[in-house]
Amino acid sequence: MEETLAIVKPDAVAAGFVGKILSRIEEEGFRVRGLKMVHLREGEARLFYGVHRGKPFYESLVAFMTSGPVVAIALEREDGVAHWRRVMGVTDPASAAEGTLRSLYGTTVQRNAVHGSDSVENGVGEINFFFNTLEKT
Ligand code: IDP
Ligand code: MG
């Protein structure tokens, strides 16, 4: 079993897609181990996306991710990291395969509805960033 962090980003929360995305998570056979809505502060978003510091989209990404509440979800499934990335689709919704969450609910390469960890190691780190031991089963 692998854990991975999913985030419903501010665009998809504001557009009312949290329920549809949670349904898809359950249909795909993930176990939800932790779930909460949070509004990231600037420093937290900068830290979470620190790997992208210096890239042209970094400042705008931080502004977007702090623009409204997000829903953070700790997921568990066999092959969870790769499976969640398949369910999300590629970064740019315009290129994402039909039926993927980014194709369904994303609008631009930045406002792409959902986040997913990119490795098992980062999945553990990202879950620990959002959830303490009491908030996760
Ligand atoms: P990922 O979310 O598919 O793993 P990353 O390259 O890790 O993609 O980028 C993190 C996030 O930064 C993306 O999900 C998207 O919101 C934003 N982003 C990535 N590339 C661009 C870009 O070229 N322009 C604007 N925003 C971008
Ligand atoms: Mg990434």
The whole-number pLDDT of residue 76 equals 98
The whole-number pLDDT of residue 23 equals 98
Per-residue pLDDT band for 50 (boundaries 50, 70, 90) equals very high
Which atom in ligand 1 lies closest to the alpha carbon of residue 118?
4
65 CA → ligand 2 middle, Å: 14
134 CA → ligand 1 middle, Å: 31
Domain ranges in the chain?
A: 2-38+70-135
Q: Give residue-wise pLDDT tens across range 36-48.
A: 999 999 999 999 9
Integer Cα distance of 15 and 112 in angstroms: 12
Helix, strand or coil, per DSSP, at residue 114: strand
Percent of the chain predicted with pLDDT > 90: 100
Per-residue pLDDT band for 98 (boundaries 50, 70, 90) equals very high
- DSSP letter (8 states) at residue 41: -
Integer Cα distance of 33 and 11 in angstroms: 23
Mean pLDDT of all residues in 77-90: 98
Choose one of 4, 91, 95, 111 to mutate for the ligand 1 pocket test, by most ligand atoms within 8 angstroms of C-beta. Answer: 91
The whole-number pLDDT of residue 43 equals 98
Which one of 39, 52, 83, 115 is the catalytic residue? 115
* Pocket lining: 129 vs ligand 1, CB cutoff 6 Å: no
Phi and psi at residue 103, to the nearest 5°: -65, -40
Q: Annotated catalytic, 52?
A: no
88 CA → ligand 2 middle, Å: 11
Integer Cα distance of 82 and 119 in angstroms: 8
For residues 24 and 102, the answer to whether their CB atoms sit within 8 Å is no
Domain 2-38+70-135 has CATH 3.40.50.800: no
* Pocket lining: 46 vs ligand 1, CB cutoff 6 Å: no
Q: Give residue-wise pLDDT tens across range 114-136.
A: 999 999 999 999 999 999 999 99
